[in-house]
Amino acid sequence: MSKKIPHRIYLTEDQMPTQWYNLRADMKELPDPMLNPATGKPATVKDLYPVFCTELAKQEMDNTTRYIDIPEEVLEFYKMFRPSPLIRAYNLEKALGTPAKIYYKFEGNNTSGSHKLNSAVAQAYYAKEQGLTSLTTETGAGQWGTALAEACCYYNIPLTVYMVKCSYEQKPFRRAIIETFDGKIIPSPSNTTNAGRAILAENPDTSGSLGCAISEAVEKAVTTEGCKYVLGSVLNQVLLHQSIIGLEAKIAMDSIGEYPDVVIGCAGGGSNLGGLIAPYMQDKLTGKANPRLVAVEPASCPSLTRGRYAYDFCDTGKITPLAKMYTLGCDFMPSANHAGGLRYHGMSPILSKLYHDGYMEAVAVEQTKVFEAATFFAKHETILPAPESAHAIRGAIDEALKCKETGEAKTILFGLTGTGYFDMMAYDAFLNGNMNDYIPTDEELEKAFEKLPKIPGIQE
Ligand SMILES: Cc1ncc(COP(=O)(O)O)c(C=O)c1O
């Protein structure tokens, strides 16, 4: 008789991967290179040094090293909150009445409440190794800022966090945690940087966006001695660090003889999704298997499903290098959706390329549908998901309901990136019927596309 698969599958520390996987090494075609906006020429690793730590800049540009050793000190930190469990959603399956088998990789079991700590630890470690004296970053929903504050506190590096103003106001307890870990926090846009002042002059009542906060954090880094900027998503290096999610998930799935037919993740800048699908994308790229890989994004900020595949700035202040990615235009201001971590105009260049080349799918979902899924999931699986993570839950439930119609017993794996304890204003709005589903019109999107940068010979 076959053994029943347990509810929770925990790897031992010894089973934890000791290397990150660099997806670019297996891509048939690489993402187009980042461009220096001043010259229109491909950015070199040296162009990145004023902004990023040296080792992280090298990882950003490394398209060939398939596996990169996780430093011993990072592994030691990882062991404080990893391996994270792979969970079989028996109760959710039962409640849905689906023949599908649903698994999720739960990354919310640490104080930051999300997967963001996986990259924060690595980035703070490399900064310490380089002898940097401070770091800056931005945070949208607050998870990244919290994660980085935890990591910087551990490595004793002062941190300034530019927090998107609407989250700063909506989530006072996120601020308190960041301050508990000695992070300095500034609502963005602020009058502490040129970028912030310019944005405020144009739109004094703006509630901010990730793009604005990035501009401020980058400016602070390049104008402060011994200070560098770190980012919690979008970049190649962040996807690399997040591959720990997928590598662990694959070891756990293999250990119970399971292989997913479909892997689903929420997509903001693409880091958790890129990390979760990494080893499965490797199988797909190398012809070993052909699972479906699905991004779920908010209908209010639909970069993959309605964006353009074009060169664009990564920030609103237009000071970062240009990346070729699916983008809504860096001037696009998403509506005040409650999934703050998914309110970003662009998408990881790696995922953008893979999506463009047909290796991935994407769907956009409305936020009330997302919160329906979140509350349903909470009731049956007893974990209160972050609104961002609930996008993946929505995607997984919809797949499972399709299986119910067709009678197929598909194996579904999704990423549960975090918990929603600091998102109770959002839950409250949903439960009281005060949540709307703003979807941008084609005209609104067109307006932002018109402002995409012109690069002679490349993007006219
Ligand atoms: C819980 C959670 N999930 C997902 C995301 C989306 O980020 P990414 O697309 O980089 O994984 C965020 C971003 O803040 C988040 O906080």
Residue type, 145: G
Mutate to test the pocket of ligand 1, among 239, 241, 271, 296 (most ligand atoms within 8 A of CB): 271
What pLDDT, in 10s, does the model give residues 371-383?
A: 999 999 999 999 9
- Token output for 155: 């490595």
Residue whose CA is at the smallest distance from ligand 1 atom 6: 268
Provide CB contacts within 8 A for 28, sequence distance 6+.
285, 357
What pLDDT, in 10s, does the model give residues 285-316?
A: 999 999 999 999 999 999 999 999 999 999 88
Report d(CA 223, CA 245) in Å as an integer. Answer: 35
Residue whose CA is at the smallest distance from ligand 1 atom 1: 418
pLDDT averaged over every residue in the chain: 95
Please give the average per-residue pLDDT across 139-157, as a whole number: 95
pLDDT at 2 (0 to 100): 60
For ligand 1, is residue 269 a contact (CB within 6 Å)? yes
What pLDDT, in 10s, does the model give residues 353-397?
A: 999 999 999 999 999 999 999 999 999 999 999 999 999 999 999
Mutate to test the pocket of ligand 1, among 104, 107, 116 (most ligand atoms within 8 A of CB): 116
β-sheet bridge partners, residue 228: 135
- Token output for 347: 């998408």
pLDDT at 141 (0 to 100): 82
What pLDDT, in 10s, does the model give residues 199-211?
A: 999 999 988 888 8
Residue 22 has pLDDT above 70, yes or no: yes
For ligand 1, is residue 418 a contact (CB within 6 Å)? yes
Mutate to test the pocket of ligand 1, among 104, 106, 114, 314 (most ligand atoms within 8 A of CB): 114
Cβ neighbour number for residue 402 with a 10 Å cutoff: 14
Asked if 108 and 78 touch (Cβ cutoff 8 Å), the reply is no
pLDDT at 334 (0 to 100): 83
pLDDT at 431 (0 to 100): 98
What pLDDT, in 10s, does the model give residues 268-286?
A: 999 999 999 999 999 999 9
Torsion of CA 316, 317, 319, 321, to 10 degrees: 10
For ligand 1, is residue 268 a contact (CB within 6 Å)? yes
- Token output for 34: 């980042």
What pLDDT, in 10s, does the model give residues 45-64?
A: 999 999 999 999 999 999 99
Using CB atoms within 10 A of its CB, is residue 173 exposed (0-12), middle (13-18) or buried (19+)?
exposed
pLDDT at 166 (0 to 100): 85
Instruction: Report the share of the chain in percent with pLDDT over 70.
Output: 100
Residue type, 175: R
For 119-136, the DSSP string reads HHHHHHHHHHHTT-SEEE
- Token output for 164: 């998107």
- Ligand 1 centre to CA of 27 (Å) is 24
Residue 1 has pLDDT above 70, yes or no: no
Asked if 272 and 341 touch (Cβ cutoff 8 Å), the reply is no
For ligand 1, is residue 272 a contact (CB within 6 Å)? yes
Q: Choose among 244, 176, 171: nearest CA to 208.
A: 171
Q: Which ligand 1 atom is at minimum distance from the Cα of 386?
A: 1
Strand bridging mode 262-266 / 227-229: unpaired
Residue whose CA is at the smallest distance from ligand 1 atom 13: 341
Q: Count of alpha carbons within 13 Å of 114, Cβ hemisphere only? A: 31
More confident residue, 315 or 348: 348
Please give the average per-residue pLDDT across 260-267, as a whole number: 98
Torsion of CA 63, 233, 414, 368, to 10 degrees: -150
- Ligand 1 centre to CA of 140 (Å) is 9
What are phi and psi for residue 71, nearest 5 degrees? -55, 145
Residue 335 has pLDDT above 90, yes or no: no
Please give the average per-residue pLDDT across 315-344, as a whole number: 87
Q: Could you tell me the pTM of the whole model?
A: 0.97
For ligand 1, is residue 267 a contact (CB within 6 Å)? yes
